[in-house]
């Protein structure tokens, strides 16, 4: 495997592999969306196949649901599961307080609902996702399609009073057409460069008419697992203030993960 994966994919893989250690038999588990989360779903699928692990997965997107089912993971809706033991998901940016920007894949609405319906959220990422201050990655907000241009104008006006460095707002596209989320909404990407007060911004954004949800995850993540290209893994738990360093050695085997890349 080590000869086939790039350093960033190795980092994603070791983080995902380590995070699956938190999953126990009988758990109801939120399954995140994105390239790193896809590694995690694959690793869980391996545990289901090799260990007979019995879990119930609640996916945060249709693509995650399709992947989980293909690997033999039982999939149900959040309505069926009601409450979750654990959610494992990726992030686009992580600061020192474990606040996140998510939504690069356009699934942050479902991801936030699932994460907040869980006893614990574990975030998996490569080391490049760690930042001192959130905002270099564009902040996504999901907006209803009706009147979206008005919503955009209201957001741009609101940003004038916020502690941010940039205020450009763009409609996310998929080819020549606007991107449509699983909930049938548009995504506006806010190019802010730096967010001085993420908590305030998250609260104010959700007061704008037409905004369904924003991609700031504040006080939701409990544990972050950071992978490195050399197999090193750093696990930080914000609740008990601990940091654990481990390493995963790569072995040459059938690469079940070769179809997972950005």
SS3 for 37? helix
Beta strands in the chain (DSSP E): 28-31, 56-59, 74-75, 86-89, 93-94, 100-101, 121-126, 139-143, 168-171, 173-174, 177-178, 186-191, 211-214, 216-217, 223-227, 232-237, 242-247
Is 104 among the annotated ligand-binding positions? yes
The pLDDT tens digits for 235-261 are: 999 999 999 999 988 654 445 555 544
pLDDT band at 17 (very low <50, low <70, confident <90, very high): very high
Residue 2 has pLDDT above 60, yes or no: no
The pLDDT tens digits for 202-218 are: 999 999 999 999 999 99
The pLDDT tens digits for 57-69 are: 999 999 999 999 9
Q: Give the contacts of 167 (CB within 8 A, at least 6 positions apart).
A: 156, 159, 160, 190, 191, 192
Is 89 among the annotated ligand-binding positions? yes
Q: What is the pTM of this model?
A: 0.93
The pLDDT tens digits for 116-144 are: 999 999 999 999 999 999 999 999 999 99
Active site (catalytic) residues:
111
Separation CA 42–CA 48 (nearest Å) = 10
Average pLDDT, the chain: 94
Is 90 among the annotated ligand-binding positions? yes
Residue 6 has pLDDT above 80, yes or no: yes
**Domains assigned to the chain:** 7-131+219-247 (3.40.50.1360), 139-214 (3.30.70.260)
Residue 87 has pLDDT above 60, yes or no: yes
Is 118 among the annotated ligand-binding positions? no
Mark out the alpha helices in 133-221 (DSSP H runs): 148-159, 198-205
Cβ–Cβ under 8 Å, residues 75 and 11:
no
Cβ–Cβ under 8 Å, residues 2 and 252:
yes
Q: Which pLDDT value is given to residue 4?
A: 79
Whole-number percent of the chain with pLDDT over 90? 92
């Amino acid at each position: 495997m080590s000869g086939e994966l790039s350093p960033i994919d190795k980092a994603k893989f070791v983080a995902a592999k380590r995070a699956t250690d938190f999953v126990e038999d009988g758990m109801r588990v939120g399954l995140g969306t994105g390239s790193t989360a896809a590694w995690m779903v694959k690793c869980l699928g391996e545990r289901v196949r090799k260990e007979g692990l019995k879990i119930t997965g609640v996916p945060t997107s249709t693509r995650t649901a399709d992947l989980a089912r293909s690997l033999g993971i039982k999939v149900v809706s959040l309505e069926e599961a009601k409450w979750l033991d654990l959610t494992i998901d990726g992030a686009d940016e992580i600061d020192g307080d474990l606040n996140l920007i998510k939504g690069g894949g356009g699934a942050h609405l479902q991801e936030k609902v699932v994460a907040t319906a869980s006893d614990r959220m574990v975030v998996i990422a490569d080391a490049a996702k760690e930042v001192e201050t959130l905002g270099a990655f564009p902040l996504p907000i999901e907006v209803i399609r009706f009147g979206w241009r008005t919503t955009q104008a209201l957001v741009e006006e609101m940003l004038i009073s916020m502690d941010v460095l940039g205020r450009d707002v763009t409609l996310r596209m998929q080819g020549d057409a606007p991107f449509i989320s699983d909930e049938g909404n548009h995504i506006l990407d806010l190019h802010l460069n730096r967010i001085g007060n993420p908590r305030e911004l998250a609260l104010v954004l959700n007061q704008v008419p037409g905004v369904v949800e924003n991609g700031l995850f504040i006080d939701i993540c409990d544990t972050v697992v950071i992978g490195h290209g050399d197999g090193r893994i750093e696990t930080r738990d914000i609740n008990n203030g601990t940091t654990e360093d481990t390493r995963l050695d790569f072995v040459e085997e059938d690469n079940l993960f070769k179809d997972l890349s950005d």
